[in-house]
C-alpha cells in the first residue's frame, strides 16, 4: 500500500498499491469483494460521478513491465469479478474492447442511477462481461490498463495569466502541441505567480524535461522566468532518469549506468523473479 | 558482481561487486584469500603502483548506507585479513587511523619492493594491523572506506584548449573552486572538441548539476556551447535524482516522490532488512 485518500465531498476513496502482477490482481479482486459486500450505492451520495462500489480499477505498469501485461491483468480481474462476485465489468483505456470505451467518461456516463436505463434503450451500453443489468447494490466495475500519469506544474514569475494560458495552449495535444500532454493556465494569486498545470499521460513519448525546456523557452520569449516546477503525487524512476540525462545532455545514458539499477538487475536475474 | 576490468599494461584487475554489508565483507575476505594464495608479487610486473596481491580494498556506501558503516566493515575486513591470512593491513581514506594515511598515494609510496626498507628506517610506515614487515609474497592490503566517486566529463564545442583549462581551474577544489571536485582541461582532437574531465568525490556536497550549470555559464562567457556531457562508469541513483530535481527547479523534491523508491521502502520495512 503506497497511498490512500478519502474525501467527504466526493465520498470516495483512492487506494494506491503496488506489487508483482499476480499479487496485485489477487488484491484487486479481494478489495472488490469487500467493497461490493459493504457498499450499497442506493444510499450513496457524492459529487464525483461513479458507476460502482469499486468504481474504477486501473492497472498501471512500473519498472519496465509492458502495458500489455497490465491489459492481461485487467481482463483477468474483470473475469473474476463477474464470476466470483456477480458484478458486471466494463473495460477502459488500453483494456477497452471497443474504441469508444477507451475514455472513462464515456463508459461512466449516466452513473449508477442512469446506466440501467441507458442499457435498456441502447444495447451498445451493456457491460463487457456480465449483466446486461448492473448489480442492484454494487453497480459495475470499470477495469482498465493505462500508463503512469505524471501531474506536473510549472510556476512562472509573472501575474499575467495570459502568459500561462498561451503557453498551455502551445504545448497541449488538443491545440496541436506535444503528444500526451494536457495543460491549463492558472493564476496563483496568493503567490503572485501563474501556473502551467499539466498531466503528462505518456512520459516516454513526451518526457518531463522536454515540456520543461519548451515552457522555459516560451516564457523567455515573453520576458518571463520560470520560478520553479512541482510534482503532484509520484513519478516513475524512468521519468527522473530521462530528465537528468536530457537536461545534462548525456546522450548515451541508459538506466544500467545507475549502480542501484545494475544491482537490481543482477538480483532479479539471480532470483528469476518475473 | 557488477563490473570487472583487467589490463595487461597495468597487469591489474578491478572487480566491482555489491551486496548487503556482511555479504560484501565475507566476499572481500574470500577474494583476498584466493589472491594471496595465487599471486606472488616477487615475479609481478606492471606500470601501476601496488603494495599487495590485493592492493586496494575500498568499501563504498550505496542507497543511504552511512559511510561510518563502511568504515566498520573496512576495519573488520582488515582484522580478518591479518588474522586469517597473515597479510598485514593499512587503512586509508575514511577508514584511516591517522590523518596522513587518508591519502592512498601516501600509504602506497615505495610499493611492494620499497616499503619494507621504508619501515626499517621509519617506524611510522608500519602497517595498522600486523607486520611490521610485509607478507613475503602477498605484500599488504590497503583497506578503506570512501564515498562513491563520479567520473564525469563535459565536452565543449570549441578546439581552444585554453577554454577547457580555464574552466577546469575555476571549478576544481585545488584552485579554490567547488569542494570535492578534481578537474582537468583536455583536447579531443579527433572530435574537434575540448573536454572538462572531472572526478566528483562527494556528489552530495557538490552535485553533478551544479557543476554542469557552472560549466555552461563559464563556457557561455567565452562564447562557447556545451556539446554534451558523459558519465564514465556508474553513478548512484541519488545523484540522478538530485540532477533532475535541480535542473527542473523542483525545490521540494524528495526521493520518496519516486514510486519505485516508495515501493522499495515499503518492502524493506516489511522484511526488516538492514
Considering the domain architecture, whether residues B117 and B176 belong to the same structural domain is answered as no
**What residues are paired with A74 via a beta bridge?**
none
Pick the range with the lowest mean pLDDT from A94-98, B34-38, B62-66, B95-99.
Answer: B62-66
Structural domain including A176 reads 150-261
Q: Which helix (H) or strand (E) holds B169?
A: helix B161-171
With bands split at pLDDT 50, 70 and 90, how would you rate the model's confidence at B267? confident
Residue B21: CA count within 13 A, CB half-sphere: 19
Here the CATH number for the domain that contains residue B184 is 3.30.70.670
Whether residue A122 is contained in a domain is answered as yes
**How large is the average pLDDT for residues B203-220?**
97
**Does residue A213 belong to the interface with chain B, where contact is any CB pair within 8 Å?**
no
In a domain, B267, yes or no: no
| Residue of chain A whose alpha carbon sits nearest to that of B258 | A235
- Asked if A196 and A253 sit in the same domain, the reply is yes
C-alpha cell at A161: 495569466
Residue among B209, B236, B257 minimizing CB distance to A248: B209
Q: Is the peptide bond before B132 cis (omega within 30 degrees of 0)?
A: yes
**Domain assignment present for A266:** no
Q: Are B229 and B183 spatial neighbours (Cβ–Cβ below 8 Å)? A: no
List, in order, residues 6 or more apart from A24 with CB less than 8 Å away. Answer: A17, A18, A59, A73
Q: How far is A18 from chain B (nearest CA, A)?
A: 7
Question: Is A236–B259 a contact, with Cβ atoms under 8 angstroms apart?
Answer: yes
DSSP state of B46: -
Which of A88, A115, A145 terminates a domain? The answer is A145
Please indicate, yes or no, whether residues A155 and A139 belong to a single structural domain of this protein: no
Same domain, B135 and B191: no
- At A25 the three-state DSSP class reads helix
CATH code at position A91: 3.30.990.10
Residues in chain A with pLDDT values less than 50: 273-274
Please report the beta strands in chain A, taking only residues with DSSP state E, as ranges in sequence order: 3-7, 12-16, 56-59, 89-93, 141-145, 150-156, 181-188, 193-200, 226-232
Q: Is A209 a catalytic residue?
A: no
Q: B12 and B135: one domain?
A: yes
The band of B272, judged by pLDDT with boundaries at 50, 70 and 90, is low
Tell me: do A116 and A7 sit in the same domain.
Answer: yes
Query: Which chain A positions have a beta carbon within 8 Å of B244's beta carbon?
Result: 209, 240-241, 243-244, 247
SS3 at position A135: strand
Contact call for B2 and A244, based on CB within 8 A:
no
| Per-residue model confidence (pLDDT) at position A26 | 97
Say if the ipTM goes beyond 0.90. no
Contact yes or no for A47/A98 (Cβ under 8 A):
no
Residues A127 and A33 in one domain: yes
Specify whether A94 is located in the same domain as A35: yes
Angle, CA A16 vertex, CA A12 and CA A18 arms, to 5°: 155
Q: Is residue A191 part of a domain?
A: yes
Same domain, A72 and A200: no
Question: Is residue A234 in some structural domain?
Answer: yes
Which of B91, B115, B145 is the last residue in one of the domains?
B145
**Structural domain count of chain B:** 2
Domain end among B124, B145, B166:
B145
Amino acid at each position: 500500500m503506497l497511498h490512500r485518500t478519502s474525501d467527504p465531498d466526493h465520498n470516495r476513496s483512492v487506494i494506491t498499491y503496488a506489487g508483482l502482477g499476480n499479487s496485485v490482481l489477487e488484491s484487486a479482486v479481494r478489495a472488490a469483494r469487500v467493497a461490493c459486500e459493504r457498499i450499497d450505492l442506493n444510499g450513496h451520495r457524492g459529487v464525483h460521478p461513479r458507476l460502482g462500489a469499486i468504481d474504477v480499477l486501473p492497472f498501471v505498469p512500473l519498472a519496465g513491465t509492458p502495458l500489455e501485461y497490465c491489459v492481461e491483468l485487467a481482463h483477468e480481474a474483470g473475469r473474476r469479478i463477474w464470476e466470483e462476485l456477480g458484478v458486471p465489468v466494463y473495460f477502459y483505456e488500453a483494456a477497452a474492447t471497443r474504441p469508444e470505451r477507451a475514455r472513462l467518461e464515456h463508459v461512466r456516463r449516466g452513473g449508477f442511477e442512469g446506466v440501467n436505463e441507458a442499457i435498456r434503450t441502447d444495447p451498445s451500453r451493456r457491460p463487457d462481461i456480465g449483466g446486461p443489468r448492473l448489480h442492484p447494490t454494487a453497480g459495475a466495475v470499470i477495469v482498465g490498463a493505462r500508463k503512469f500519469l505524471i501531474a506536473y506544474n510549472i510556476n512562472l514569475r509573472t501575474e499575467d495569466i495570459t502568459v500561462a494560458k498561451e503557453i498551455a495552449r502551445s504545448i497541449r495535444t488538443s491545440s496541436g502541441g506535444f503528444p500526451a500532454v494536457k495543460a491549463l493556465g492558472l493564476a496563483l494569486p496568493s503567490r503572485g505567480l501563474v501556473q502551467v498545470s499539466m498531466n503528462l499521460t505518456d512520459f516516454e513519448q513526451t518526457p518531463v524535461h522536454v515540456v520543461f525546456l519548451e515552457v522555459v523557452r516560451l516564457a523567455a520569449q515573453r520576458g518571463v522566468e520560470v520560478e520553479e516546477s512541482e510534482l503532484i503525487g509520484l513519478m516513475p524512476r524512468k521519468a527522473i532518469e530521462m530528465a537528468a540525462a536530457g537536461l545534462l545532455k548525456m546522450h548515451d545514458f541508459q538506466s544500467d549506468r545507475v549502480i542501484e539499477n545494475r544491482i537490481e538487475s543482477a538480483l532479479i536475474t539471480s532470483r528469476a523473479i518475473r
